[in-house]
Structure 1
């Protein structure tokens, strides 16, 4: 599920905290930008040569794996109140992605995506990279500009609070597809793991609704405040 980190307190972090958050967001912006652009650069040739499965082993480790794993720090940021992001929603969003990268793609990626995978898995993987990557480039760029003391362009703010309407369903559908395709390999590894993944798919329904409506509410709150300021 695409992840969201709320805007820093109105007064803004100061000193070392501000410097740390600026460095963290800038590093994530560069990491996600690299991952997204590099993956996108491989797609045209892979489609033309019918070698789409080659994208997964080329981009997953260390690019996507390392980049997505950095999101663990967002849970810590929320827990110690470095940012205003609600801890529960932050933990849910980060946990869903880490499940996909560490619980699905690390052990079963070669079976459901990549050289021995099917096109459904390959497209689901690309869907995750696209939805996560675009979301995070916009989000981390937004925070990096804010923490630098600059003014975020209006068009960037619009992207920040509107693109999730399209990207979130793409990300959720792709994540669920990868989890579903991993049910067979998970059952061969351990039946309990298969049951766990089935439970996760069931939880995704109400969980996705909660997170989606949370983002819609956040958007309304921010844009309402912006209109009052204007």
Structure 2
């Protein structure tokens, strides 16, 4: 499930030791830089490529490896942060958020893109030959890229400002606690499309892999509801607290 827009997986506890705060500041700053690079590079390529519909596969190859794959893999540290108590986020919701991204990035994008070692088992669903035009998977990849990228730039920037002792402007606060209403459905829909497209090639690797992806699609329904309502509840708590302070 994509958006950690209002989750607290990178928010430190109030009495966090200074070395831990310094580490979390560097982690959020590096993550911000990586996601900003992914997002801006994707946007510039989308503007530059002509005609864009025929060249969308090139965007995948320019961004996925190693940039996007490494950037999303780094987020696995957030589960560890929650486990050891560096941050306030519940382990369960943090794991759900990170695991769903790992599934899409490493379980679908990696084995089923053109040029993959596994693509011989089935047609690649994303990143094919530009001469053949874009596939539905290429559009779904862009949906993931921009939904994830915008969400994470806002979130990591928010925490980096807090950890660095800077004031967070009201417009940034508004973005953090409102953009998930649009970005979450966009991201989750794109992820589901990629998994759905991966069902047939997954069956050619092993029938159980196909059933695994089907089970994940089924889990996405209640999982998305849990995380979406969690983010809404988090937003209400933050805004109520803000109004009391004001």
Asked if these proteins are the same fold (TM beyond 0.5), I'd say yes
1:145 aligns with 2:167: no
More helix by share: 1
- Aligned twin of 1:95: 99
TM, length-normalised to structure 1:
0.96
TM, length-normalised to structure 2:
0.90
1:105 aligns with 2:109: yes
Q: Tell me how far 1:118 sits from its aligned partner.
A: 4.5
2:55–2:134 CA contact under 8 A, matched in 1 = no
Question: RCO higher in 1 or 2 (8 Å CA, sep ≥ 6)?
Answer: 2
Q: For 2:223, which of 177, 185, 207 is the aligned residue?
A: 207
**Distance in 2 between the 1:46 and 1:119 partners?**
16
Correspondence 1:127-138 to 2 at 5 A = 127-138=143-154
| Aligned-residue CA RMSD (Å) | 1.2
- Aligned twin of 1:166: 182
**Distance in 2 between the 1:195 and 1:222 partners?**
40
1:65 aligns with 2:69: yes
Aligned length: 229
Q: Tell me how far 1:47 sits from its aligned partner.
A: 4.8
Q: Tell me how far 1:13 sits from its aligned partner.
A: 2.1
Correspondence 1:25-64 to 2 at 5 A = 25-48=28-51, 50-64=54-68
1:124–1:178 CA contact under 8 A, matched in 2 = yes
- Aligned twin of 1:23: 26
Structure 2: which 5+ runs fail to align?
A: 115-123
**Distance in 2 between the 1:13 and 1:34 partners?**
29
Q: Tell me how far 1:146 sits from its aligned partner.
A: 0.1
